[in-house]
Amino acid sequence: MKVIERTGKTIEEAIGTAIKDLGVSREEVEIKVISEPTKGFLGFFGAKLARVEVVLKDGPSQKADNLLKGVFKAMQLQVDMKITEGDHDLMINLEGNDLGILIGRRGETLDALQYLVNLSVNKNRDKRKKVVIDVEGYRKRREETLQKLALKLADKAKQRGRNVVLEPMSSQERRIIHTVLQGRDDIHTFSEGEEPCRKIVIAPKK
């Protein structure tokens, strides 16, 4: 946490100087007024400048890092973490031994962890950042598996002439299924049910 003090003829001038020196926006800092400006005798003698203390808040990467390290410590896991921050997203890749526990059944634990980090990172932020957490390329492998499954079940629905209902999936995984099949003219897809048991239905076109 970085803390600086700055002075100015007015409080706003002192704050402006501090923000400029830190190279950040106002929403990224916390401000404490140490002393108000005074004019002094005859507007000159004994005059004092305004003084403020400005604290740089933890950024998205630091928030994510702190939260995840706390989780891993509680779970007694040794995890190497790589965080890449873009203008609109935060990509976090985790590596280590025996990290299957972080993935869970069909990625449910990983999705829950990602959801919690999203909440933490975007708390009190005007501009949201999308957080994506992966464990040693799991999401890419899962995407490829779902794409193959979608094509196989689409052919099955066409051949049998009746709907095929998939197992419940997260909205992110359902989107993969919809996307890979959206160009076909012999079947169509739609979702039914309520979260977290919402399912995709692959239906042959009549």
* Per-residue model confidence (pLDDT) at position 44: 57
| Tens of pLDDT, residues 17-66 | 999 988 877 877 889 999 988 876 665 566 789 999 999 888 888 899 99
Looking at the structure, do residues 67 and 124 belong to the same domain, yes or no?
A: yes
Looking at the structure, do residues 129 and 170 belong to the same domain, yes or no?
A: no
What's the total number of domains in the chain?
Answer: 3
Indicate if the alpha-carbon torsion angle 3, 32, 28, 94 is positive or negative.
Answer: positive
* Per-residue model confidence (pLDDT) at position 98: 87
- Give the residue carrying structure tokens 């025996």: 98
Looking at the structure, do residues 94 and 161 belong to the same domain, yes or no?
A: no
Instruction: Please give the structure tokens belonging to residue 46.
Output: 């004994």
Looking at the structure, do residues 122 and 156 belong to the same domain, yes or no?
A: no
* Per-residue model confidence (pLDDT) at position 27: 77
Q: Mean of the per-residue pLDDT values for the chain?
A: 90
Positions of the chain with pLDDT under 50: none
* Per-residue model confidence (pLDDT) at position 26: 82
* Per-residue model confidence (pLDDT) at position 45: 63
Looking at the structure, do residues 68 and 33 belong to the same domain, yes or no?
A: no
* Residues 14, 34: Cα–Cα separation, whole Å: 11
CB atoms within 10 A of CB 60: 19
* Per-residue model confidence (pLDDT) at position 127: 81
Please identify, among 105, 136, 167, the residue that sits at the C-terminal boundary of a domain: 136
Q: Which domain holds residue 196?
A: 140-204
* Residues 149, 28: Cα–Cα separation, whole Å: 45
